[in-house]
Structure 1
């Protein structure tokens, strides 16, 4: 068993996933989930090349835990600490105000704990609010949840609804499953409802805005080892709202199949999503077929972030929409 470094030891020493989880007082699967969902990846390497958590990484995770323990939603806490530098000896973030300050100014980031002008004690929740959606998911009312997802998309648009309600909902039900070891059926139901609502919204947007058939489309895909394709559905919905044609290949697409599709479609842009480092493949990007006219290659998700944010990387759904729209309509 690896020894857990003490505060008097060198900050060059690192921790395995299990050791870091024990130090934080959480389960190792939870720590792995935070890496996958929020991009909180270990930054160090062992002498054998295995990824390890540094004490600086641990300080960042402790800051996140401090916020979560005060009631800040996990996604907001992660967004607040993710891109900050936390020296190993620095104090943890200790207030929900820090989340608001950390996310302020980042367009379409996860919203602050208390948006301006809204009361913490609001008695009547807004339609489609996260707490409502979470309660409906736990009641196992799939039809109502799908309806509320579609209603939220219609009211707010794909980017806002996904960023502030749908993605946090999926994170919350996933965290519930990891905390309790049960309720996996709620996670499946919520994922299906979000997917159904996004597809319905996309169909309505296509009918309403009628994409220009003379414009080159965009292709949305995941590489072969990536099974989490819901963000592609959110992006497709946002593209449909902008009357841009989309060809969604979905999850687990081999690069050879993606190359064949690109040659046939001749898109203006290709977007590739990765939720974790093991599903991001820089070599696959290099072998992807090129066409004339050329297309823009855009990548998004925590997996690409962990590989150093390659060319074309975007940090948010809003940034992905902007990059793809610019490629179609330069």
Structure 2
């Protein structure tokens, strides 16, 4: 019989949802609808998500990101063991371990000009999004995020509204000690809106399967993967095939994925100096045909802005599109 993971190795539904970038009600709904129940229990008998549970759910999210219907994605991962099959599931333990002792800070987004924070034009304007977040109205907030993405496109919506929203709620929490749940709700709503927008773009544009894909990932110590969803949404709008590996991906797992996928480009996000690993970039597997390595996020600046570093979502998208369609 397999050993039951200790409570320090497992996550509550709320913590698991935050690590996966989805809303807690969504995770509970998947349990009811698709039988994706947590398999572990705490010392007190409460159900908890184990690293293996997170691995299965991450695999499901990757399928959804690729346009697979939710019910079909759930069916494909239910009751299967992904530790030996998926190149990224070994990061699940790192995700669970990495959350202990850390603050719930909003991930540092792709940089933007300061003036963009004051924009209020168009649907889902910043002031309205901020008000909905503080009202804890997750459904309307997610709807307005999706509406803003549909109207303005991922680059404009992220730059002028979504990223500033995350900054504002994070600043509010640090400044006033306001309820941290507002911050979590805003992150969940932005993630949900981005995922929905990506799925719709994939369904509408149907990426050319003959084109090589773009791989999006964070390295092992980075568990803030929300900017990857923004990049994925912007690429989906352009009909680019994307494979999102997500947070806390060991370089060995990323190398395995690169060898299997043979992408046109690899994008690696780092929010802080602690998560930027120049040695990992140097040991990342190379393939033939070769791929373009693009890195984004403020973490890389401490390493002297390595080759391929981009300073905004627009720059990241331009570099990745050029790699796929030179």
The residue aligned with 1:187 is: 183
1:223 corresponding residue in structure 2: 219
Secondary structure in structure 2 of the residue aligned to 1:145: helix
Paired residue for 1:260, among 252, 256, 260? Answer: 256
Question: By how many angstroms is 1:210 displaced?
Answer: 1.1
* Alignment: residue pair count: 224
Secondary structure of 1:323's counterpart equals helix
d(CA) in 2 for partners of 1:114, 1:268 = 36
Could you tell me how far apart the structure 1 residues matched to 2:219 and 2:267 are? 11
The equivalent residue for 1:232 is 228
The corresponding residue for 1:283 is: 279
- SS in structure 2 at match of 1:189: helix
Matches of 2:207 and 2:123, distance apart in 1: 29
State yes or no: 1:161 paired with 2:232: no
Q: Secondary structure at the match of 2:215?
A: strand
| Worse-matched range after superposition: 262-271 or 126-135 | 126-135
- Secondary structure in 1 aligned to 2:249? coil
Q: Which has the higher contact order (CA 8 A, sep 6+)?
A: 2
1:263-310 CA distance string (max 9 Å, x none): 000000000000000000000000000000000000000000122100
How many angstroms apart in 1 are the aligned matches of 2:161 and 2:249? 28
Q: Secondary structure at the match of 2:248?
A: coil
CA displacement at 1:38 relative to structure 2: 7.6
Deviation at 1:113, TM superposition (A): 6.8
Give me the CA root mean square deviation.
Answer: 2.3
Distance 2:189 2:323 in 1: 31
Matched with 2:123 is: 127
CA contact (8 A) 1:109 1:316 kept: no
The alignment's TM-score, normalised by the length of structure 2, stands at 0.65
Aligned partner of residue 252 in structure 1, secondary structure: strand
Q: Which runs of 5+ in 2 are unaligned?
A: 1-101
Which of 197, 203, 206 aligns to 1:201? It is: 197
Distance in 1 between residues matched to 2:301 and 2:282, nearest whole Å: 17
Match of 1:242 in 2: 238
- Take 2:263 and 2:118, find their aligned partners in 1: how far apart are those partners? 41
Unaligned segments of structure 1, at least 5 residues: 1-28, 40-78, 80-107, 116-121
CA contact (8 A) 1:110 1:163 kept: no
What residue in structure 1 maps to residue 166 of structure 2?
A: 170
Q: Tell whether 2:94 aligns with 1:37.
A: no
Tell me whether 1:323 sits opposite 2:319 in the alignment: yes
